[in-house]
Structure 1
Amino acid sequence: DHMCSADLRSWMAEWHLDLTLGVEGDVPAAVFNPREAFGSHSDSDHVYNTPRAWYMQRCLNPSDVWDGPDADYTPESDDIPWSRVPERKVTIEDIKYVLSSHYQGTEYDCYGSKGTPATRGAYRPIGINRNSQLAVLQLRPYAQPAYRAVQWMAFGSNSFNALVPLYANVETMPEYYAGTQARVTSENFYWANRLIGALADVRFHECGRAVEDYQEKVGGMGHKQIHDVDAAVAALPEAEVPAELARANEEFAERVRVETDALLGKVLYTTSCAMKNSFAMNDNVR
């Protein structure tokens, strides 16, 4: 069920990487665990890598027991399955949620109220401040090859951004997405998302509803965009499709700009109202 180099087993034997107990010679596929052969169990894994695998599988295979004293696996378990099938088909939204997560619903959520300050800062989130770019590549077997490929893109910290769809099979990309320079400007999608994340983070609970509304609206707009553009290009000669896809990408980028600017205005207002140097004439009235 997995691809590997044809000489992987002989290479493992040469370098003595078979760590399966009680097995001599070739290891049957049913008992071979690549994590034992090629992975690590370092102390840093238990705060940096393993908790993220735990939370991803917690989302995609929720029938296992992930919490409490009888949990099948904990954030520091070394035996979390290294490869498995999700309990249902995975959507674009599932991928975005998992890669944006900060252990929501657990005592390890850095924005949460469960647990203690120690548990809330124990593990590296998946949606971290230094996320820069997320790409989800979608090859749709039900669409014609000329417009089958869609690349969903997000920039900045995943906890605060939204995925936007871009058709592949084009020669240019919208300047709003592609023109990122060192100068910070809200006229660029990357920097706009960076500003939103930095502002919303410090007032997470006050800004959370606006961020979630933005993510859901842009996501819904994206699916409708794909539906409408697919229908529009279906009857075109194949040679004309790339230009139409590029035009559609440009048009959608402008719609995303409007929504992103609106969110930036909301979180800027909310966070600026909570600045420590705020003052009103009735502040000192007793």
Structure 2
Amino acid sequence: MPCTTILVGKNASYDGSTLVARNEDSSNGVFEPKRMRVVHPDEQPRVYTSVLSHLTVELPDNPMRYTSVPDVVPGHGIWAEAGFNELNVGMSATETLTTNERVRGADPLVDYVPAKGNEGEDGYVPAQPGGLGEEDMVTLVLPYAKSARDGVRILGDLLERYGTYENNGIAFSDVDEIWWLETIGGHHWIAKRVPDDAYVTMPNQLGIDSFDLDDAEGAQADHMCSADLRAWMAEWHLDLTLGVEGDGPAVVFNPREAFGSHSDSDHVYNTPRAWYMQRCLNPSDVWDGPDADFTPESDDIPWSRVPERKVTIEDIKYVLSSHYQGTEYDCYGSKGTPATRGAYRPIGINRNSQLAVLQLRSYAQPAYRAVQWMAFGSNSFNALVPLYANVETMPEYYAD
């Protein structure tokens, strides 16, 4: 599974911007080339059909112009991935996530089921469309979102209606807020506002580690969720929070424990990436040796943290290009042993397809507020280039 994400709240960034950044990685053994384009309202479909799940969705008739980073090679969908619309709302989709068997049993994923037999003949069973996936989400949501919160609501409604065939994390941003949405099973979801003074690190693992159900069902100041989440959790005994009396879920619970995974493969593929990003941004913690606060295989690495200093674009590029440099796990280094240098999956790999950093600058005029920083190919060997997002077309070098 691919991708690594970092989110930076406006009071944690170097200039007061909200920052959403994600590597899109190709699947193992594959490289998917990407390009950029501006999608105008007359180019946005009014009826959308996904390639992978064969799901057809009718869309509103009032789309906005937006930027996207679609696949170059046609035939398996758009995969628009990251962009801004004309109201300076950003969206990054998706970070593939893991869940657990109990969640998948309580709310199965919505997979496409091909037709059986031939239409008109005895025994024919028509195909059943699947749910939404990474292929679809930016195209279905970004052209219509008026704020980061609005993007969460739009996608949440689609998930409850159509379901999904995969678990994903999706980021929404505007000049004031960043929201992170995680899909839970086939039809359920949670979303949490990134604290303004904090950053969030996300490898391919369900990450939110504290959630307030009362807030999500009430004021929604910092939390949102699918309408029946509390009842669904109670029915399937999903809350694993200690010290809770009664049969229902705790008001504040740990979604990572309830919905996530702590498998052996997570400790090789996922948790080391969060460990290294936080090692870079909070270097005063103890990261090595028997007294380490967190190790590459810790299951309790925080979802969000206050950095030791303001986070810059350079910091984001560094951590999303990293290969555990300065440690015995550096696959390009000389420290440690051949075994340690190959122990963990690095962030900067040869199948990074693109890196998009979505920056919204509160001090800039709305026409120039959104900057989409882009890098293509392996992040260990490339550079970010800033591009204004409120434009009619992308430079030919990136578009073709």
Structure 1: distance between partners of 2:244 and 2:233: 14
1:134 paired with 2:338, answer no
Distance 1:58 1:113, change over 3 A: same
Structure 1 or 2: more strand by fraction: 2
Which shifted more, 1-10 or 101-110? 1-10
Structure 2: distance between partners of 1:35 and 1:162: 34
Q: For residue 22 of structure 1, what is the amino acid of its counterpart?
A: G
Q: Secondary structure at the match of 1:138?
A: strand
- Structure 2 segments unaligned to the other structure (5+ residues): 1-192, 194-221
> Which residue number corresponds to residue 71 of structure 1?
292
- Structure 1 segments unaligned to the other structure (5+ residues): 180-286
TM-score of the aligned structures, taking structure 1 as reference length:
0.59
Query: How far apart are residue 61 of structure 1 and its match?
Result: 1.7
Q: For residue 120 of structure 1, what is the amino acid of its counterpart?
A: R
Q: Secondary structure at the match of 2:305?
A: coil
> Which residue number corresponds to residue 238 of structure 1?
none
Q: For residue 280 of structure 2, what is the amino acid of its counterpart?
A: C
- The one of the two structures with greater contact order (alpha-carbon pairs below 8 A, sep at least 6) is 2
Query: How far apart are residue 77 of structure 1 and its match?
Result: 1.0
- RMSD, aligned α-carbons: 1.5
1:172 paired with 2:393, answer yes
1:32-91 CA deviation, whole Å, 9 max, x = no partner? 222111210111101000110111111112222111111011101112113323233221
**1:1-286 to 2 correspondences below 5 Å:** 2-5=222-225, 7=227, 8-24=229-245, 25-29=248-252, 32-179=253-400
Q: For residue 311 of structure 2, what is the amino acid of its counterpart?
A: V
Q: For residue 169 of structure 1, what is the amino acid of its counterpart?
A: N
Are 2:355 and 2:376, in contact at CA under 8 Å, matched by a contact in 1? Answer: yes
1:191-235 CA deviation, whole Å, 9 max, x = no partner? xxxxxxxxxxxxxxxxxxxxxxxxxxxxxxxxxxxxxxxxxxxxx
> Which residue number corresponds to residue 194 of structure 1?
none
Structure 2: distance between partners of 1:159 and 1:144: 33
Q: Secondary structure at the match of 1:100?
A: coil
Q: Secondary structure at the match of 1:132?
A: strand
Query: How far apart are residue 4 of structure 1 and its match?
Result: 2.3
Are 1:35 and 1:82, in contact at CA under 8 Å, matched by a contact in 2? Answer: no
Are 2:233 and 2:249, in contact at CA under 8 Å, matched by a contact in 1? Answer: no
Query: How far apart are residue 14 of structure 1 and its match?
Result: 2.8
TM-score of the aligned structures, taking structure 2 as reference length:
0.43
Are 2:372 and 2:386, in contact at CA under 8 Å, matched by a contact in 1? Answer: yes
Structure 1 or 2: more helix by fraction: 1
- What is the number of residues matched between the two proteins? 177
Q: For residue 353 of structure 2, what is the amino acid of its counterpart?
A: S
